[in-house]
Each structure stands twice: as C-alpha cells, then as structure tokens.
Amino acid sequence: MSGALAAADPTLSDFNQQIWWLVLLKVGIVFVFLLLTTIFMIWFERRVIGRMQNRPGPNRAGPWGLLQPIADALKLPLKEDVTPTGVDKLVFFVAPILACAPAFVAFAIIPWGPEVSIFHHQTPLQVTDLPVAVLLVLAMSSVGVYGIVLAGWASRGPYSILGALRSTAQVISYEIAMALSFVAVFLDAGSLSTSQIVAAQQHYWYFWVLFPSFLIYLVTMVGETNRIPFDLPEGEGEIVAGHMTEYSSMKFAMFFLAEYINMTTVSALATTLFLGGWRAPVPISTFWPSANSGWWPVLWFLIKVFFLLFCYVWLRGTLPRTRYDQLMALGWKILIPFSIVWLLLVATVRALREDNHSPVVYAVAGIVLVLFIALITFWDNGYTKWLERLEPDKPGVEEEEDEWDYDDQGELVKVAKPARPESRYPVPPLDLPHYHGLELGDTALTGSTYGDADDATKEVTGA
C-alpha cells in the first residue's frame, strides 16, 4: 500500500483525537445533508414515477417543480394538528420522535470520505466509528420500530394497531436476514468497523465476492424501510394508513421524514459494506491515482448512494404491493435459510484458505454441501406443491359426467355445475349493516331491509 493510500484510510484511533468543534461541524453537515436529501428525494420520486407513467409530475411550483417539496414542507406544519379523544397523549406525541431520531443517529458511523484537512486540521470524513459500528445501525432500526409500534398502540384504533403489529413482525423477520448478510462481510474484512471495512475493499469490492449477501441485503433493506413492494404496515387499501391513520400535521410529516432518512441510511450502508464505500470505481482509480484522495471520494460516495435511492423509486413505479403472507414467507422460508447456508459456506471457504489439512474442515464442508442440496430440494418440493394447488384440474383424473334433469316445461336440460372458487383468499362481504349507517346491534344480518318504503329494498345476506 502506498503512503498516500495509507494516509487516506482512517483508523479507530483517529476518532479519539478529534476536536470538539469539528465533531459538531460534521454532525451539522450530516443533519443538513439528510434533510436536503429528503427534500430532493420527494421531488425526484414524483418526477421519475411521473415519467414512468407517461405524465409530467410536479411542474408548477418553480422551474421543473423544484419548489414543490418546499411548498409541502411549509404546508404540513401549518395544517391543523388533531389529537383524537381517548388516545394516550404522551405516547402519541413521543412516537413520531422515537421513529425519526434513530434514523439520524444511524448515519453517524457512515464514512463518506477519507481523512482530509478542514481548517488546517486533519480529520476523517465520518462523525464517529466504533469497533462494532455496523451493529449500531441494527440497534437504531430496532429502536425506530418502537416509534411505529407505540404510534399504533397510542392511537387506540384497529387500523393503527394492525399496522403496528405488521411492522413488528416484518422487522423481526427481515432484520434477522439482514444481520446474517452482514456476517459474511465481517468474516472477510475481519472487523465490524465501517472504516476498516472500506479499507479492506481496496483491491476488490464485496459486491463481487459476496454477491448473494448483497442480494439478500438489497431485499431486506426494502423490507426494513417499509417501501413498496413491502409497505404492508401502511397499506392504504387494507388498513387506511396503518400506524399513521390518526396522525396529522407535523407529527404525520415526521413519519415520512423517518422513512426517507432510513432509505438514505441503508443505501449508504450498502455502499459502505458492498460497493467499496467512498472508493472510486476500478476504471477511474486505475487511470487516476488521486481519485481516492482529497474531496473527490465524497462524489463517488454520493453517486453510489443516489443510484440505490433511484432503485427505490424504480421499484415503487414498477412492482405492486405483495400479500402479507408472501411477505412473511419470503423472510422466514427463503431469506433466512439461504442466509444461514451461505454463511456456513463462506466460513468453510475461509477455513479452507487458512488450513488445508484439517479433517474437521472437510467434514464441515461436506455438511454444508448436504445442507445446500437439502435446501434446494425443499424449495423445489414446496414450489411443486404450490403449483399443484393452483392447477384447476389435475391430469389423470376423469371429468365428471354431465347431469341431466327435467325443467318446469318437461324438457330434458343439463344441470349447471357449481362454479369453482377463484381464490383461496375470500373477499369479506361488502353489504353489512354499517355500510348503510346502522350499527351491528340495530338489526339482524339476515333478512333485513334498508331504505324507505318507496325505495327499492335490498336484502343483506352477507354473501
């Protein structure tokens, strides 16, 4: 490693010698960056999805609609702040803050550049680093979900509670797979420090050597941030708005602020762990030796982060929302088992590199191979059974003979067979008493009529 590159890679000891005002300056820069990124992403998302749907998107407020996010940011605090009766007011007020604050804290361990000179003081372009820095992101995401859970619980509404429960189950399932995707990086880098992980990717990015871990992380980071196609906690077609149903004004805006900041944080973490961090791509760093020194690495870091943010927008404009059972099955039945087997495979390969003569290593390698084959067989059998359930008629089964009977006129006619149900997930009845302004106790569900005597009456059968 050259002297220039060695000086560009900060170590943990560099963060213990920082001047207090430099720390405050970097905290302020990160805070402003996250706010500006949120404002930009709101405009960028609406413009890109508009183009995908063959419409202009925001184009009235300012040139190309650039002032539209600012107008929205000014509108939300000025709207009436409604607090429903019967809610737990203290928890109802604290929940948006608890959802938003951890999103800012998690970005503190992200390195967005090497060691540079700021006002003649050498300092790393990173707020802080820890020996277990990546675990701070997992801890903050776990704390952030408490804001969603408490928002649903404090609202005392059925839709809010359902959204909170969905978010809890979703975070538990997807955070396990996310943590397992991190472990492969820890094994190869030999550290949990984000600055050391970036330094370990000097010769090759983990995007190449740990591609399955990268794919698992891409899926889990969408699930962690509750974005389409995994935005089940706020599914407006099922539970109105989930945990945000009873919120308005600035408290409502803070949930969206937390969502967009979390998007930026997990994208920056993916850049740090798998895309070389602030390091320039190979063609640029090969022909330009100074690409990884000075302030240029900040540009490479931002390009990678905004590319992943564009992928978020791309998914939203492309994919529909999944069913909740599909969401949970993907996390528990596919991502977690595959992460465990892949992690065992990575550990086995690393052990084979260090010791080529131990019989224990070969035994473990054989066990991992058997587990991998068993996992593929399990998935294949499950997929086959799923296809058999979807088939309308199994091959080899003789069709039932037609039934004939005499009608009222004495003619011989064919008896119609009952229709096969189209789905295993029935739609609830849509003609219940509360749709007519009546409570459940006002009338019976069967044989009741609604409306005036002059109007056409309708029988409620619940079907």
pLDDT digits (tens, 9 = 90+) for 95-110: 888 888 888 888 888 9
- 3-state SS assignment for residue 128: coil
CA distance 334 to 345: 16
Closest to 96 (Cα-Cα) out of 227, 213, 257, 219: 257
84: pLDDT confidence band, cut at 50, 70 and 90? confident
pLDDT digits (tens, 9 = 90+) for 122-158: 888 888 888 888 888 888 888 888 888 888 778 777 7
Closest to 95 (Cα-Cα) out of 245, 224, 251: 251
Cβ atoms within 10 Å, residue 93: 13
Q: CA dist 334 to 230, 252, 329, Å?
A: 15, 34, 7
In contact, 286 and 292? CB cutoff 8 Å: no
Detail the DSSP E strand segments found in 126-196: none
CA distance 244 to 84: 12
Query: Letter for the amino acid at 236?
Result: E
Helix, strand and coil content of the chain, in percent to the nearest 5, comes to 65, 5, 35
In contact, 242 and 233? CB cutoff 8 Å: yes
Closest to 229 (Cα-Cα) out of 355, 330, 364: 330
Q: Identify which of 113-117, 204-208, 329-333, 393-397 has the greatest average pLDDT.
A: 204-208
277: left (phi over 0), alpha (psi -120 to 50) or beta: left
In contact, 416 and 405? CB cutoff 8 Å: no
271: pLDDT confidence band, cut at 50, 70 and 90? very high
Count CA atoms closer than 13 A to 253's CA, side-chain side. 18
In contact, 128 and 108? CB cutoff 8 Å: yes
CA distance 150 to 91: 7
CA distance 425 to 389: 13
50: pLDDT confidence band, cut at 50, 70 and 90? confident
CA distance 413 to 53: 51
CA geometry: angle 142, 146, 152, nearest 5 deg: 140
CA distance 189 to 213: 14
CA distance 39 to 320: 25
Higher pLDDT residue, 447 or 80?
Answer: 80
- Which alpha helices (DSSP H) does 330-425 contain, by range? 336-354, 359-390
First to last CA, the chain: 74
In contact, 269 and 137? CB cutoff 8 Å: yes
- 3-state SS assignment for residue 365: helix
Give me the chain's average pLDDT, please: 76
pLDDT at position 249? 78
Long-range (24+ apart) CB contacts under 8 A made by 438-447 are none
For the record, the structure tokens of 294 come out as 């000075």
